Amino acid sequence: MSKGKKKPKADTTRRNFLAGIAGMAGVSLASGVTLFSYAEAKAPGEAVSSKVRWGMLIDINKCADGCDKCVSACFKENGIGNTGNPATDPQWIRKIEVRNPNTSATESLPVMCQHCAKPPCVDVCPTGASFKRDDGIVLVDKHICIGCRYCMMACPYKARSFVHEDITDQKPYVPRGKGTVESCTLCVHRIDAGGIPACVEACADSAGGAMLFGDLNDPNSEISKRVAKYASRQIRADLGLDPGVRYRGL
């Protein structure tokens, strides 16, 4: 009887031990793969560095027609309201349909600021308000934006919007105001706190998980691995702007 009692005990321990080892390997692998870039979240007082280049990989095969979870998450996160003027309302991210005229195949994909390595919006800005942060995020410094909208003309992705209406009740972490140009910030306030953009989170939580965010400069990040392994495209790569947003299945 004592034998019988001991045996399963020994077995359990061994199993636990093995399971423990497997678990540890899994965790370290998982953190090495997916959490590497987040684990390196900078301290609040530390300046961003060009060692990091934030980017996004969007798998269009997982992006459903008519799903706009990313768009609504972006609007909610950044306090973009509906002013009732769809022609002029800001759009930081939108879903577009593309159609191959030869095959009539259609695809649906989200398009936002592509966070180019060589952003034309920065080249044309007369005040220096449009700028690229060291970590690759292209932003508008609204303190010095005069609202001339040259950047909107220069952007081949129509990523920028001009704020035509007075805005009240802004989110404390997303200042927005009339008379300035704005666009997707890649949720810079979240990234600086070690988080991921709201659209990516929403897509992973309640849609197909088509969007992957990470550090393109880190060879161990999930996004770098996937970009290296699978074919992906930048929209209008022929322009040589080297966007940080890449699409798979386009």
Binding-site ranges for other proteins (CB under 8 A) = 42, 44-48, 131, 133-135, 139, 141-143, 167, 169-173, 175-178, 180, 188-190, 192-193
Distance, in Å, from the CA atom of 96 to the CA atom of 98, rounded to the nearest integer, reads 7
- Closest to other proteins by CB, 72 vs 170, is 170
Taking the complex as a whole, the smallest distance from the CB of residue 180 to other proteins amounts, in Å, to 7
Taking the complex as a whole, the smallest distance from the CB of residue 98 to other proteins amounts, in Å, to 34
Which residue type, as a one-letter code, is found at position 17? F
Taking the complex as a whole, the smallest distance from the CB of residue 195 to other proteins amounts, in Å, to 9
- Closest to other proteins by CB, 95 vs 142, is 142
- Closest to other proteins by CB, 124 vs 167, is 167
- Closest to other proteins by CB, 83 vs 170, is 170
Structure tokens at 198: 């709201």
Distance, in Å, from the CA atom of 142 to the CA atom of 183, rounded to the nearest integer, reads 11
Q: Label each residue of the chain as H, E or C.
A: CHHHHHHHHHHHHHHHHHHHHHHHHHHHHHHHHCCHHHHCCCCCCCCCCCCCCEEEEEEHHHCCCCCCHHHHHHHHHHCCCCCCCCCCCCCCEEEEEEECCCCCCEEEEEEECCCCCCCHHHHHCCCCCEEECCCCCEEECCCCCCCCCHHHHHCCCCCCEECCCCCCCCECCECCCCCCEECCCCCHHHHHCCCCCHHHHHHHHHCCCCEEEEECCCCCCHHHHHHHHCCCECCCHHHCCCCCEEEECC
Of the candidates 209, 249, 213, 244, the residue with the CA atom closest to the CA atom of residue 230: 249
Taking the complex as a whole, the smallest distance from the CB of residue 28 to other proteins amounts, in Å, to 27
- Closest to other proteins by CB, 141 vs 205, is 141
Taking the complex as a whole, the smallest distance from the CB of residue 187 to other proteins amounts, in Å, to 10
Taking the complex as a whole, the smallest distance from the CB of residue 11 to other proteins amounts, in Å, to 46
- Closest to other proteins by CB, 136 vs 214, is 136
Taking the complex as a whole, the smallest distance from the CB of residue 175 to other proteins amounts, in Å, to 4
Structure tokens at 187: 């949720």
- Closest to other proteins by CB, 188 vs 235, is 188
